[in-house]
Structures are given as structure tokens and as C-alpha cells.
Amino acid sequence: MCGIVGYVGPKKAAPILLDGLRRLEYRGYDSAGLAVHDGREIEVVRAAGKLENLASALEQRPLGGSTGLGHTRWATHGRPSEQNAHPHAAGDVAVVHNGIIENYLELKHELQASGVRFASDTDTEIVAHLIHRALEQGAPTLFVAMRQALGRVRGAYALAAISRREPDRLVIAKNASPLVVGVGEGETLCGSDIPALLGSTRNMLFLEDGEMAELTAGGVRIETVEGKPVERAPKRIDWSAVQAEKGGYKHFMLKEIFEQPRAVEDTLRGRINLDEGDVVEAELGLDAQAARTIERVVLVACGTSHHASLVGRYWIEQLARVPAHTELASEVRYREPVFGPKDLVVAVSQSGETADTLAAVKAAREGGARVLAIANVLGSAIPRASQGSLYTHAGPEIGVASTKCFTTQLVALLLLAVHLGRRRGTLDAERGREILQAMLELPNEMRWTLARKAEIHQVARHWHNAPHMLFLGRGLGYPIALEGALKLKEISYAHAEGYAAGEMKHGPIALIDENMPVVVVMPRDRQYEKTLSNLQEVRARDGQVIAVVTEGDAEAKKLAQWVLELPKMPELTQPVAAVIPLQLLAYYIADLKGTDVDQPRNLAKTVTVE
């Protein structure tokens, strides 16, 4: 998500930190900052927007010391601004952080009650105050104070801190967010990613979850959070700068496909209350009274986000028992649509800036509807124009073809459906708990599916020259078929069509012959028998079937030429895993054809024109 770089050594820290941040720019960010110990004090310089703004601020206020921290922020709590940019300071301490502190509200209230005043809206500032408080209460060192602070914090973090009292060291800690240490000649660095450190060293070691470290110019000392010493030798990293940006993957899209389990974990983080079988979501602004007055839900979106909305419609109708419709934003805005105060309009957009979706939001608000945004970019136009928001915490998505934003949109929509169902009284706590438990199992089910990449690659090798491909699915599998077809056409330029399997005999069946590959999305669900009949219809006309099935489906294995397996999992959450083989199939086909996977022709990541 955000980028961290830290330095301790004999050189001036600021230029090294700025260089590290520049090497992380490709990831996207909305603000940046440095904190440097000048031998007497810690000086902090921050700026909203691009790194040039920070560089200009540093020209006005040069930072002189040789121990410091740098950060590029991708906002998750608190809008993008200078005030919310990291580093955050409290007393003698400055802190940078990547990740999400789950219990930040509880801690914030506690700190406020003891007189602490906050200078930002971030969850990170809480950690700075906790460390400062530990020092005030007698913790002998920054390292000990950090350990005490971590005892209070729940969530995902890569943290780095400096203290005015200890000018010659950094203290870092990791849980569920990456953190790398660079061991140079008489200097030591840390970073959220390998590229941040490549300007100084190639000798790196990786912190594991539950570990902390103290960095001095002479080296690094690692311990577990419980205080057990850890011995780890640095490894030499031979990646080129470009390889490092992609985390060793060939393309950003592939990296983002494999990041999905982590993105889903982050989107769920702090939002599930298993005891109550309910969703904890203050940002939604939808209390029980408001949820009960809704008579219709309208989901507006474009492209991949529209496909996520189609899945969301099923979930909302099933769990909240309220009519739900989906609208292509580009159509609804020109139709003089009728919206009213009993409508909940849900605008789904990874960028939060899509012009058509924004126009639909404005039309809905003019009609008096309540509008809720599901977006990945905090503070973007669509959430700003809406009354409530539910952010997907996928982190920056660089590949133009959306992958991790799609699966996290699905997760957000299912959270919304549970939230509505619980408030409308159509979903009891026990069923709520079952669904939320199933959501918590998603990251592992996604890892299981990703591990079968070799089989998917084999299918891609066989079919990468096919000029056409048909994708079929029913129920929750139908939007997944649409998304599979969109992914394939976007990046491989092959003609691909997604169809509801039940519609096949109303037209597309005419296309089927021995040259037509047909992907059938058919995990074990209530529609299984019917989709199996469609598969047989394709086979009867010599169509070539690639079936996406639940593991151990002997029936499908007998009939289909290729089988891509999903783990056994609850029907409701299947779409989140079922899209993965289709994303990988599209990716491998495009890569075999040699297209520009990350920036396919004619497409833009953010579509701000009609």
C-alpha cells in the first residue's frame, strides 16, 4: 500500500530517503513526508500530492541529519492531505506506518480521554502516541516503548520509528505488511519494498510477522515481539529495478492477481464481529432505521465494477430481501432515471473517478436517493459525492485490467449485504456468523486456487491462438463468466463473450463447433445440474470445454476436456475464488501472445471522459 524507507548511517539521510521514495513512486500515493533527526531535534517535512511538492518543501526547509524516515501515503483512514501525511510525531517520537490498525477507534477514544490531542485523522498517529506514552511512563528505550505499544495494537503493520532521545537508531516492527532491511557498508536501511533500498544496497533481509528490529549504522538486531532473539543473515538480491517494482513477477497484473488473498484480508480487517454475526462499519452511515426504509437498491458501475455489482445484486436480494437492480452507469445517466428517497444507490468504482459513475451518483442524489460508494481510492470524487462509503483496501492497482479491485469489491458488497440483512431483520446472527466465517476463509481458498496456476497455464498454451472464446455461467457464476470474457478481450485482444448459460440455446449455441473453446463456470451450487446440461449441449456439438469446477467433480471431469478446480467452499463466497482461474487464463494467453498486458491498447486505468 504505502511506501516506507528508513536510513541510519554516516551520510545525509534526506537525499537517500527521497531517492528511496522516488523508487516507490510507481505504486501510486497521495502525499509524502520525511522525518530526520538533526542531532538535536526531529524535523518533519510533509507535502500533499507528488514527490516534487515534498522536494520543493525540502528546498525551503533542508533537513540536515543522518537518521531518518520517509513515507509515501496511500490513504486508508483520513483523506489525502499534508496533515494526514506521514511521518506522525508525538512528543519525542516520529512514526511511519503501512497497514491498518483495526482497533484504532477504541485506542483513539482511550488516548483522548487521557488528554491526548490528535493532529491528524489517521490510525498511525495512535501508534506514535502509544510509543510516546510508554517512554513517558518509563520505558528505557525506543525499542522497549515500541514493544509496549505493539501490545495494545491489533491489525496489520509495517512500522518504523525514531526518537529524539536516541539519534543513532531506527526501530521497526512487522505484522502482515512487508518490511525489508538493507545492510550496507556502515549504514543500515529499511523499506516496505526492495526497490526503495536498491540505491544503497543489495544485501537484504526480510522481517517476519511478529518480529521487531533495531537498526544502527553498524547493523541490525532482530527479536520477536515477545523478546526472543532472532538470527538471520542478509541475502543478495540480484533483481533489476524493474523486476523489483513488480516483486519479481513479469507484470503488475500477475503480481496483483497473486496479491488478492492479502487484499481480501485487508478489506475484511476490523469489519467483522463474529460474536454478533454482524459487520462493524461506521463509514457506511446506514443505521437500522435507514436500512429498513430502503425499498430498492440500485447498483451503478462500469466494466469490471459492473460485474461485481451483478454479484452484489444476488447477495443483497438473498440476504436483505430487498429488490436490487444493476445499471450500467453510462446508460442510466442518459435515461432520465427515476430515483427517490427510498432508494439506496450503490456506486461501485475502483478509481472512484469514473465520469459515467459520478454522473449517475449526481442524478441519484438529485432524485433524493441515499448514495453509498464502494471505491478503492480514498477521497476520490465518487465517495466525496456520496453520503457514505465502504472502501476496498486493495492498495494501488497498476495493471489496467482490474483484478484485486474486483475481488475486494465483491467482499465489500457481501459485507454490505450482511449489514443490510442484519439491520432489516432478514438475516439472523447465526446465519450472519456463518457467512462472515466463510468470508474469513476466503484468503486461504484463494491461495489454494492460485496454487493451481500450472494447470491454467497448460490450457492457455493450448488455446492462446484461438480467435474466439465463449464464457458461460449461471446464478453467481454468470457475472464471473462476463468478467472472464472481459479480462480476456481487454488484454489478449481475442474476441470473447460472456453469456448466461441458460441463454445459450437462444442464440450463441449456433457458434459452437470443434473450434470453439467454451469456458463453463460450474462450481457445486444450486444451479449445478442445469449448468452440467449446458456443458453436455456444448459437447454434443463438438465444442471444446474448459470447466471451472469444485475439486473432485468426477462428472465434469468425464465430460470436459480441461478442468480447472476450485476448493470445496460455501456457495455464497464461491465467486471470489471462481474468478481467479479466469484472470490467470486471460493473463497467460495474453502473455503467450506477447501483448502489452499492463497497458493494453486503447484502454486507460481511470476513465474520466464519457
Q: Which residues bind ligand M6R (CB under 6 A)?
A: 302-305, 349-351, 354, 357, 400-402, 490, 603, 606-607
In whole angstroms, the minimum distance from the beta carbon of 578 to ligand M6R comes to 17
Smallest CA-to-CA distance from 403 within 551, 254, 274 is with 254
- Residue 21: DSSP 8-state: H
Residue 2 annotated among the catalytic residues of the structure: yes
Residue number, 304 or 544, with CB nearest to ligand M6R: 304
Distance CA 116, CA 110 (A): 9
Q: Are 589 and 253 in contact (CB under 8 A)?
A: no
In whole angstroms, the minimum distance from the beta carbon of 124 to ligand M6R comes to 26
In whole angstroms, the minimum distance from the beta carbon of 452 to ligand M6R comes to 22
Question: How many CB atoms neighbour CB 115 within 10 A?
Answer: 6
Residue number, 401 or 563, with CB nearest to ligand M6R: 401
Q: Which residue has the cell 472472464?
A: 484
Residue number, 188 or 402, with CB nearest to ligand M6R: 402
Q: What are phi and psi of 371, to 5 degrees?
A: -120, 135
Residue number, 256 or 278, with CB nearest to ligand M6R: 256
In whole angstroms, the minimum distance from the beta carbon of 605 to ligand M6R comes to 7
In whole angstroms, the minimum distance from the beta carbon of 418 to ligand M6R comes to 22
- SS3 string, 110-144, reads HHHHCCCCCCCCCCHHHHHHHHHHHHHCCCCCHHH
Catalytic-labelled residue, pool 11, 12, 593, 605: 605
Residue number, 260 or 349, with CB nearest to ligand M6R: 349
Residue 11 annotated among the catalytic residues of the structure: no
In whole angstroms, the minimum distance from the beta carbon of 374 to ligand M6R comes to 9
Catalytic-labelled residue, pool 2, 190, 302, 405: 2
Q: Helical H runs in 30-89? A: 51-60
Q: Are 101 and 127 in contact (CB under 8 A)?
A: yes
In whole angstroms, the minimum distance from the beta carbon of 486 to ligand M6R comes to 6
Residue number, 219 or 379, with CB nearest to ligand M6R: 379
- SS3 string, 466-515, reads CCEEEEEECCCHHHHHHHHHHHHHHHHCCEEEEEEHHHHHHCHHHHCCCC
Cα diameter, the chain: 81
Residue number, 348 or 560, with CB nearest to ligand M6R: 348
Distance CA 203, CA 450 (A): 30
Burial of 224 (C-beta count, 10 Å sphere; 0-12/13-18/19+): middle
Edge-to-edge, what's the strand order for the sheet holding 235-236? 42-48, 31-37, 67-73, 3-8, 188-191, 180-183, 203-206, 235-236
Catalytic residues: 2, 605
